[in-house]
A and B are shown apart, each in its own frame.
Chain A
Amino acid sequence: MAERLITYSEALNEAHRLEMASNPDVVVFGENVSSGWRQVTKGLKEEFGRERVRDAPITETAFIGMGVGAAIMGLKPVVELMLVDFGLVAMDQILNQMAKSHYMSGGAVKVPMTLRATYGAGTSSAATHSESLYSLFAHMPGLKVVIPSNPYDAKGLLIESIRGDDPVLFMEHRLLYPMEGVVPEEAYTVPFGMANLVREGSDVTVVATGLMVGKAVEAADELGPKCSVEVIDPRTIVPLDEEAILRSLRKTGRLVIVDEDYERCGFSAEVAAIAAEKGFQHLDAPVVRVATPNVPIPYSPVLEKHLLPSKEKIVKAISQLVGY
């Protein structure tokens, strides 16, 4: 059979449908999730009914907290946040209740909940509609943080999230929704904590997440024979496949981290710390970060573009290291 191409958002939609069909405990709620314009949840209400697919009022604290409670009771809620920025309204429910109830209860309760959120800049929407924020959530012990960069991973990681026993923040870059890729029709899982070696190389290691994976590959392609670039997509930043990063570092001795989140105390800093602590002897050059500087994302396209990581900035960072 010919390989089937579908988009990232279709892959996510399919993951929902497969899991809802096989497990009656899977329920979906969030703002406007029953509307046709929400690409990922489109058609779910028609197929599974309004009992299991519910439009929630604009009350992030209440409906995310409801997801936590329902998960503790044994349901498998998949809760949608229209944008990750809006999750900041519900910090207590996400960072205290969702993240820590399992641990604080001494394991007496489990929170098998998936909180899906779109994220990302590049649409001139300014700071409250453009941020990545995954580092903020990854900081809190107890939350798994997943960032698929392509349709195949999106489907497999979402099914893994739904089937798992832990709370997951599932981050979907909005500019990836139309991306096409080969995706099998049946249900499958992509395990957490296992990085994807996207591109093999021997001179420089680039660790990138989400939308930045594609940009890193473009940069590597552009450099062509000048430099052999290895691109690693961790796929989940909690848990993080440290070994894959260190293995690559042993080979290349040079590390660039590309991260759309803010730089300070962010995912890029975490990877740099791992390299410094556990890969110091392999490093031939300083670690370079290409992340969003510590400035709230501005509205004007000129300003926004100036701040965001780009192919050009990645090429520059890699070139700088090769010459080191």
Chain B
Amino acid sequence: MEIDEETKIELYTTMVRIRTFENRARILIRDGEIPARSGFYTGQEAVAAGVCAHLSPSDQIGSTHRALGHLIAKGCDLKGLMAELCGMSSGLNKGKAGPYHIFDPSVGALGANGIVGGSVPMVAGYALTHQLRDDGGVAVSFYGEGASNQGGIQETLNLAACWNLPLVFVCENSSPEVQRMLGHEIDYPQLSIERVSDRAQAYGIPGATYDGWDVLEVYNAVGDAVKWAREGNGPTLLEFNVHQIEGNLEGRIEVRDDERIWCPIHRFKERITDEGILTTELDEKIRDKEKSKVEEAAEFALRSTVPAPIEAFKGVFAGGP
């Protein structure tokens, strides 16, 4: 697929935005302004960017405990997002969600999830709604290779296949060479197969594995699957191999030398620089702009007020207490 320059710059910008935001959040965690830890997405930015570039706010995603990349690529307001991480009343979910439970229906981000595999069955519901309304919309379900074994995900693959739902399953495999869980070595494998996408065959749907550190590869693969789903052909299982990379507290987008080969931002920058699309000036402009947006978000969060304690009791039921 020929990808125009504008799209390439947009993909690059989204990846820069995610990394800049996450590094800022790391500083806020260190400073105690964000009261808890969060799963980070550093090294995986190409997947969120390449997927969400095909979606409009009326398409939905379901996400994970490593949601910030997905949420930002889907278009969540950075201020509301940062304020949520800081537990403020101006946060997207009034300080009740934190990093693991953010929902932003206005952009189709439904939602982060603290339970591994927890969001996937719900995404089938988003897809079912599009199918019933016949509106051409799709839903995308993000999850990890560890999650991919959960019964709920296997059941959803089957259900989506049986009902031909407009759903794209996106499995981000963060330990494609050596199997690890939560970054730690494990003594027994968690996958009995090399490729999570091999499971597509078991459900009679298309599936394949791609390099998740190559944003154009992601963009192309997802473009086909989304089109396939929008045209009523049913679900696809896409697997993207990725490598989780350490972020930093200096606000640097660059990663360590040995991590560069897996860094989607580094790789894409080289490529579009070679193609003459990204000049040094344009790169600086993009970075500065994203940095100031993220800084604004951080300032907004820090200036916000913590919720009044009594707010804890509100919202248990939609119709009031």
Contact = CB atoms under 8 A, between A and B. Distances in A.
A21 B151 CA distance: 34
Interface string B143-156: 00011011110000
Contacts of B133: none
Interface residues of A, number: 41
B312 A298 contact: yes
Interface in A300-318: 300-307
B188 A50 contact: yes
A296 interface: yes
Interface stretch (B71-79, B179-187, B258-266): B179-187
A58 B190 contact: yes
A61 B281 CA distance: 54
Q: Which one of A31, A32, A59 has the greatest number of beta carbons of chain B within 10 Å?
A: A59
A85 B118 CA distance: 12
Contacts of B152: 89
Contact of A124 (B87, B146, B310): B87
Interface string B165-191: 000000000000000011011111011
A125 interface: yes
Interface string A26-37: 000001101101
Contact of A300 (B88, B113, B190): B88
Interface residues of B, number: 40
Nearest to B87: A300
Contacts of B101: 126-128, 299
A50 B189 CA distance: 12
Interface string B105-126: 0000000011111100000000
A89 to B, nearest CB: 7
Nearest to A86: B115
Given A126-B101, A128-B100, A55 B187 contact: yes
Nearest to A61: B151
Interface stretch (B8-16, B91-99, B220-228, B283-291): B91-99
Contact of A129 (B88, B114, B146, B306): B114
B91 to A, nearest CB: 8
Contacts of A89: 115, 117-118, 150-152
Interface in A1-58: 31-32, 34-35, 37, 45, 50, 53-58
A79 to B, nearest CB: 15
Give the dominant DSSP class at B's interface.
Answer: loop
A12 B185 CA distance: 23
Contacts of B36: 123-125, 299
B303 to A, nearest CB: 16
A305 B115 CA distance: 23
A319 interface: no
A65 to B, nearest CB: 10
Contacts of B95: 298-300, 302-303
A59 B151 contact: yes
B309 interface: yes
A62 interface: yes
Residue from A58, A61, A293 whose CB has the most chain B CB atoms within 10 Å = A58
Interface in A189-236: none
A72 to B, nearest CB: 21
Nearest to B116: A58
A305 B146 CA distance: 33
B115 A85 contact: yes
A125 B117 contact: no
Nearest to A90: B151
A59 B149 contact: yes
A294 interface: yes
A306 B312 CA distance: 7
A309 B40 CA distance: 32
A108 interface: no
Interface string B234-264: 0000000000000000000000000000000
Contacts of B204: none
A305 B87 CA distance: 13
Given A55-B181, A307-B312, 13 more contacts: A37-B184, A45-B187, A58-B117, A59-B151, A124-B87, A126-B97, A293-B312, A298-B96, A300-B35, A300-B96, A303-B307, A306-B309, A306-B310
Interface of B: 35-36, 87-88, 91, 95-98, 100-101, 113-118, 146-147, 149-152, 181-182, 184-188, 190-191, 306-307, 309-313, 316
